Amino acid sequence: MHMANRVRKKWTLEELDSLPDDGNRYELIHGDLLVTPPPTVSHGTILARLTRILARMSRRTAWGTSSSHAP
């Protein structure tokens, strides 16, 4: 069975710049438009919790410093 080829539109920088400022993240990769929705509240909550955990661990172990010898 023969399948039709789907032609994908290649986006330009001008078209990217004309997209609305609606909270989505728009990116061009080799002419392909990628759209990422804005993060949710739960995403922000998880990010804040992980940041606190990693900050405490970093202070205790010196990870992330030039004197760190962590694995």
Q: How confident is the model at residue 59 (pLDDT cuts 50, 70, 90)?
A: confident
Q: Is pLDDT above 60 for 16? A: yes
Do you know the residue count of the chain? 71
Query: Average of pLDDT values for 49-58?
Result: 93
For the full predicted model, state whether its pTM sits above 0.85: no
Task: Show me where the domains of the chain are located.
Answer: 13-61
Residue 67 pLDDT? 58
- The answer to whether 30 and 12 are in contact (CB under 8 A) is no
% of the chain beyond a pLDDT of 70: 79
Instruction: List, in sequence order, the alpha helices (H) in the chain.
Output: 13-17, 41-61
Residues 31 and 25: beta-carbon distance below 8 Å: no
